[in-house]
Structure 1
């Protein structure tokens, strides 16, 4: 009997460990793939997210002026730090890759020191690929105006489809 109880305890512990390292599968179209130094995956050793998965993470809303749009724009999306936490990311650098293969490296310290979001909505509407979607790196210019500079603009990738963590 002790052997059976021990075996069940070990199996339950293993099941908990497995479920803690796996993400749920996306149910809709995948809009973001994360690879590299991550612990929690769901498809082929990477983390794939659909829009509801991303919107379930801690996020931020901001109304800011940017060099890419006229006037002030309302952006909404998950904090990149929340995305990294969800995938159990290690590493110090994020390589953010757009659908057209443009890429920029973002120091992890940026997303730990500032509430940088991966915007999925503009003015309440899902961002279309035509309008710089499905996701757009948005720095918090509203609370950190010192970030409004060319270096940060180059890290503000739009049409984001993937993030590599290293």
Structure 2
């Protein structure tokens, strides 16, 4: 008798949990964001992929040491993004979802390089594909972009930028 009552109570509890549990939110259901902070900003700026597509666009086809064959990257040049946000800084710290971080002196940022890419080969990048955002240089455009320093700055799974 005790076993049957225990089973009935457990079944009722589990049924209640299943019925009342909120639906799982998957990565596909939420748009990734890029958070940008600076001491002069009142609050962090949070930009979605859609927000980034509304800014002036940069695109280039280049090869990387992490992918096979030429890849078409689409995004926003870092220069244009900082200009749009009216952020002046000496250093930019970039952090990935896994907390990997790199620092880039603003003096080494060009008009078109690097870019914050949000698409590769015309498709949004998943985490598995080094997305949602990837700091990419046009590696084929200049030998200066094929150095250990530049490769180490090519941070993927980017989700935070702090201006200093």
> What TM-score bracket applies, with the shorter chain setting the length?
0.7 to 0.9
Give the C-alpha shift of residue 59 in structure 1. Answer: 2.0
SS class of match (1:52): helix
SS class of match (1:120): strand
Give the C-alpha shift of residue 111 in structure 1. Answer: 2.0
The count of corresponding residues between Structure 1 and Structure 2 is: 135
Q: 1:83 and 2:81 equivalent?
A: yes
Summarize the alignment of residues 1-150 of structure 1 with structure 2, pairs less than 5 Å apart: 29-39=31-41, 45-112=43-110, 114-150=112-148
SS class of match (1:78): strand
Give the C-alpha shift of residue 91 in structure 1. Answer: 1.0
String of CA shifts for 1:15-70, please: whole Å, max 9, x gaps: xxxxxxxxxxxxx735100002454x6xxx11000111101111211111101101
State the superposition RMSD in angstroms.
1.6
Structure 1 alignment gaps of length 5 or more: 1-27
Runs of 4 or more above 3 Å deviation: none
Structure 2 alignment gaps of length 5 or more: 1-29
TM-score normalized by the length of structure 1: 0.76
- Whole-Å separation in 2 of the counterparts to 1:57 and 1:95: 21
State which drifts further: 83-92 or 128-137: 83-92
- Whole-Å separation in 1 of the counterparts to 2:66 and 2:40: 31
Give the C-alpha shift of residue 79 in structure 1. Answer: 0.8
Give the C-alpha shift of residue 147 in structure 1. Answer: 1.3
Give the C-alpha shift of residue 141 in structure 1. Answer: 1.7
Checking the alignment, whether the CA contact within 8 Å between 2:61 and 2:138 is kept in structure 1 is: no
Larger radius of gyration: 2
- Whole-Å separation in 1 of the counterparts to 2:52 and 2:111: 21
Give the C-alpha shift of residue 161 in structure 1. Answer: 0.2
TM-score normalized by the length of structure 2: 0.76
String of CA shifts for 1:122-142, please: whole Å, max 9, x gaps: 000001111100000011223
